[in-house]
Amino acid sequence: MVLKKILLVAAIGALLWAYVALDGQRYLSVDFFRELYAQQPVLTAAVYFAIYVVATAVSIPGAALLTIIGGMVFGLWTGTLLVSFASSIGATLAFLVSRFLLRDWVQSKFASHLSTINQGVEKQGGYYLFGLRLIPLFPFWMINLVMGLTPLKASTFYLVSQLGMLAGTLVFVNAGASLGSIEEFSAAGIMTPAVISSFVLLAIFPLLVRAAVNWMERRRLYSGFKKPKQFDTNLIVIGAGSGGLVSAYIGATLKARVTLIERDKMGGDCLNTGCVPSKAVIRAAKSMADMKKAAQLGIDVAAPQVDFARVMGRVQDVIKTIEPHDSVERFTGLGVDCLYGNAKLISPWVVDVDGQQISAEKIILASGARPTMPPIPGLDQVDPLTSETLWQLQDLPERLLIVGGGAIGCELAQAFQRLGSQVTLAEMQPQLLPRDDQQVATFMQDCLECEGVRVLTNYGAQKFESQAGQRSAELCSSAEPAAESLQIEFDLVLVAIGRTANTESLGLEALGIPLNANGTITTDDYLRTCYPNILACGDVVGPYQLTHAASHQAWFAAVNGLLGRFKKFRVDYRIMPQVVFTDPQIGRVGLNQRDAAAQGIEVEITQYDLSDLDRAIADNDAHGYIQVLTVPGKDRILGATIVGPQAGELINEFVLAMKHNLGLNKLLATIRSYPTLSEGNRFVAGEWKRKHVPHRLLAILQRYLGRNLKG
């Protein structure tokens, strides 16, 4: 096999060498074929056919030129016949050469990355190829070589190529035939209706084909469904969480008639069970921690006592205070029709809401997500809490086990430890906050352990038991080699290992709307599902299950849905801030060191220690750091991470800077009030500047300033 590959490469190399050495370009000229055609028409056709096949088989660029020459020499119909078969045969040979030489190596080398592509090609490879042949987004020779690396059958490749390239072949040969009919190449000869129309057709052909492909795709996609002649509303939004509320708001602002459907509570997870209640509990816990540290500020206070029922009562009061912002009354006042009920798609334009059918030209899915419950033996016997059910507690658990060391797990572990629980936090990954840098995770673990939280990394829950009122969990090490298992007794367990998209009751399967491997809805760059009139945003889509990410997506979903016929906007995730609301907080945007290493991006790291910041010292909060990643040698910001007091607020300056391409030099030149924590952002810019001072220029300046000094 290896010898055969070597011989094939040598043969192709010899052909390419001969092409260059023997001036093969002259055989791709009109004069060569016309001279030969005048003497031997049949031989000319055979030579042309052979040259076309060989040139395509060895992937010599120039297929478009050869096609036009075919039209100029042989005319429209003969030229089309020759080119159609020669291009398909040559392309298939190139396809087979690529497969023989490279496919096994590429598939084994990049198996993990190609599995999804292979599955797609096996299912719809012919359709993908047909689209590429009709609309040549990539060079002809590149398509031949790349498709050879996939599982696509050679027979399918040939037949689809023959059919898919026919329209393009006709257009290019027609252009050549029009040029070939010109007796004299002059302005008058060229500016004839036939020549002009052929080149106009050549120019607009990609647009016509794209429109035709889109039309055929729509007909195929929507076949079997009857589109209503008139609609009840312009836009249906399913889900009244952050994504759904913002989508409905934008739709109403654009003067569309909007119907918003929610099956539970307006405001969704963020208001009722997520951001708002968790931050209210975190605030109470911070007050407790501040009182314990009051002596460090010279203030003696009696031992503070936690009334947990009152703490949780205030949580509900905070929710009720914010509730009107997301209420039915507010959105009804904006012109949105609000409905309660279970929504299910029964066609691309019709939604069933508990028996009532509503039609709309556009639909946005914003059904959110729910806490993931793992299938761990015995878990259902210990009444597990989640971030949704936690807020009904009235009694503080003496011993709380939290499974999952992500943002939610860390936030609630610290909060409940401060309120008086003995918390054990178990994370099966080697570090807390698995998506953050090791430096961040270590800092967070040290902080939690200093406050009394028992942190167990590399430990996952294997089973739970409840016997005689005593609850316990068996935690097993996920490290290699495996360590001993641990038996942890607890009063309550909180499961915080992630969230699962709410897709089950939407009717997606009946419509054939695909899901990603993690259960979220598959969308394109414009947040459209496989049906262009059905879009999705928020946690049900990902990749960020964050309230502000859902709001960000909602703008794109609403605008692309209602105005996409005129202008579409590609959703942009490049600058997405993320905050962990522990104490100290963790804020980051853009790349961190882990991301940069995974993506192979070279970065320069600059760090400023907040222990040196005046305001942090005065506040007795001087711990943490600000770290900025830049392009090596330049001040362009690629990412920033802040660990410290008010990091969630401070990170926004870097969000703004990255959004508007402001470098560290401009941050350094910006005045800030003294003493404030925001000075830290200027000081980290100063650290970068000190590493990039022009030493040679400063030496010249030193000599200049010292020229009149004594001694």
The Cα 687–Cα 188 span in angstroms is 69
Q: Name the residue type at position 533.
A: N
Are residues 45 and 130 located together in one domain of the fold? yes
**195: which 2 tokens?**
């020549």
Are residues 551 and 482 located together in one domain of the fold? no
The Cα 637–Cα 621 span in angstroms is 27
pLDDT along the chain (711 residues), means of 10: 56 55 55 67 82 79 75 81 86 83 66 58 68 66 78 84 78 73 48 51 57 71 88 97 96 96 94 94 95 90 91 96 95 96 96 96 97 94 94 95 97 97 96 96 97 95 91 87 81 96 95 94 95 96 94 97 93 93 97 94 96 96 97 96 97 97 96 96 96 84 84 65
Per the listing, tokens 């961190």 go with: 592
**Smallest Cα–Cα separation from 269: which of 34, 592, 539?**
539
pLDDT at residue 554, rounded to an integer:
97
Are residues 611 and 676 located together in one domain of the fold? yes
SS3 357: strand
The Cα 606–Cα 629 span in angstroms is 7
Helix ranges restricted to H, 58-192: 63-74, 76-98, 104-109, 111-134, 140-147, 154-164, 166-180, 187-190
Q: Classify each residue of 447-457 as buried b or exposed e, where b means 16 or more C-beta atoms within 10 Å of its C-beta.
A: bbeebebebbb
pLDDT at residue 679, rounded to an integer:
97
Q: What percent of the chain has pLDDT over 70?
A: 84
The Cα 130–Cα 639 span in angstroms is 41
pLDDT at residue 59, rounded to an integer:
72
* β-pair type (336-340, 258-262): parallel
Cβ atoms of 358 and 342 within 8 Å: the answer is no
Are residues 288 and 237 located together in one domain of the fold? yes
- CATH number of domain containing 544: 3.50.50.60
**556: which 2 tokens?**
């794109």
CB atoms within 10 A of CB 470: 10
Are residues 161 and 258 located together in one domain of the fold? no
CA angle centred on 514, ends 512 and 519, rounded to 5°: 135
Of 494, 514, 549, the last residue of a domain is 494
Question: Is residue 269 one of the residues assigned to a domain?
Answer: yes
Are residues 336 and 415 located together in one domain of the fold? no
DSSP string of 214-280, one letter each residue: HHHHHHHHHTT-PPPSS-SEEEEEE--SHHHHHHHHHHHHTT--EEEEESS-TTHHHHHTSHHHHHH
Question: Is residue 709 one of the residues assigned to a domain?
Answer: no
**202: which 2 tokens?**
């050549």
**584: which 2 tokens?**
């100290």
Helix axes 63-74, 30-39, angle to 10 degrees: 40
pLDDT at residue 75, rounded to an integer:
80
Question: CA dist 422 to 146, 449, 492, 614, 664, Å?
Answer: 58, 11, 11, 34, 44
Q: What percent of the chain has pLDDT over 90?
A: 61
**Smallest Cα–Cα separation from 603: which of 652, 637, 576?**
637
Question: CA dist 455 to 34, 135, 372, 430, 459, Å?
Answer: 83, 56, 21, 11, 10
- CATH number of domain containing 606: 3.30.390.30
Are residues 300 and 356 located together in one domain of the fold? yes
**Smallest Cα–Cα separation from 331: which of 435, 249, 421?**
249
Of 451, 474, 494, the last residue of a domain is 494
Are residues 6 and 118 located together in one domain of the fold? yes
Question: Is residue 53 one of the residues assigned to a domain?
Answer: yes
Question: Is residue 706 one of the residues assigned to a domain?
Answer: no
Domain that residue 518 falls in? 233-371+501-563
Count the residues in the chain.
711
Q: What is the DSSP letter of 429?
A: S
The Cα 52–Cα 89 span in angstroms is 9
pLDDT at residue 167, rounded to an integer:
74
Q: Name the residue type at position 282.
A: I
The Cα 443–Cα 584 span in angstroms is 9
CA angle centred on 293, ends 291 and 299, rounded to 5°: 75
Q: Name the residue type at position 313.
A: G
The Cα 452–Cα 457 span in angstroms is 15
Are residues 296 and 391 located together in one domain of the fold? no
Task: List own/partner pairs for 388-393 with CB under 8 A and 24 or more apart.
Answer: 388/269, 388/273, 390/273, 390/494, 391/273, 391/277, 391/312, 391/315, 391/316, 393/308, 393/312, 393/492
Question: Is residue 711 one of the residues assigned to a domain?
Answer: no
DSSP string of 546-608, one letter each residue: -HHHHHHHHHHHHHHHHHTTT-------SS--EEE-SSSEEEEEE--HHHHHHHT---EEEEE
Question: Is residue 423 one of the residues assigned to a domain?
Answer: yes
Q: What is the DSSP letter of 677?
A: T
Are residues 488 and 510 located together in one domain of the fold? no
Beta partners for 495?
403
Which residues 6+ apart lie within 8 Å of 194 measured at CB? Answer: 178, 181
CB atoms within 10 A of CB 398: 11
**Smallest Cα–Cα separation from 504: which of 543, 540, 557?**
540
Are residues 128 and 263 located together in one domain of the fold? no
Of 539, 563, 587, the last residue of a domain is 563
Q: How many domains does the chain have?
A: 4
Q: Classify each residue of 281-301 as buried b or exposed e, where b means 16 or more C-beta atoms within 10 Å of its C-beta.
A: bbebbbebbeeeeeeeeeeee
Positive/negative CA dihedral, 700, 701, 703, 708: positive
Question: Is residue 707 one of the residues assigned to a domain?
Answer: no
Question: Is residue 222 one of the residues assigned to a domain?
Answer: no
pLDDT at residue 45, rounded to an integer:
82
Are residues 359 and 409 located together in one domain of the fold? no
